[in-house]
Amino acid sequence: MSDTRETLTIRMAGKDHQLSCQPEDAPGLAAAAHEVESRVQKLRKAQPSITSERALALAALDIAFESAKSGTLIPTAIDAESEAKVQAMNQKLDQALARLGQSLES
């Protein structure tokens, strides 16, 4: 794994967010953000008065539910490196959602 970090700007719920990630993770994170944004836009089209926070939560729940149904959400065995990557990504997502919440309150 590289020590070099890359700054990636992603768009979710109509707002740009910057994330720091490993260069090899950037394409996957960009694709994931695009999928979230696509689902948020579908929710907004169906429910124009939906808040960004609720749309993001519902999009995340929808993606997690699909992953659970397909069996890809919870691997049967996970190595320490993968566990650390998942925890780091969860922290980044928590930070991004916190920043989004703060920007929505402003």
Q: For the beta carbon of residue 41, count every other beta carbon within 10 angstroms.
A: 14
Distance, first Cα to last Cα, the chain: 38
What phi and psi, each to the nearest 5 degrees, are found at residue 16?
A: -85, 140
CA dist., res. 42 & res. 89, Å (int): 25
User: Looking at residue 103, what is its pLDDT?
Assistant: 77
pTM: 0.61
58-61: Cβ within 8 A, 24+ apart: 60/36
Tens of pLDDT along the chain (106 residues)?
557 899 999 888 888 989 899 999 889 888 888 889 999 999 999 999 999 899 999 998 998 888 888 776 555 456 677 778 888 888 888 888 888 877 777 6
User: Looking at residue 7, what is its pLDDT?
Assistant: 92
CA dist., res. 72 & res. 67, Å (int): 5
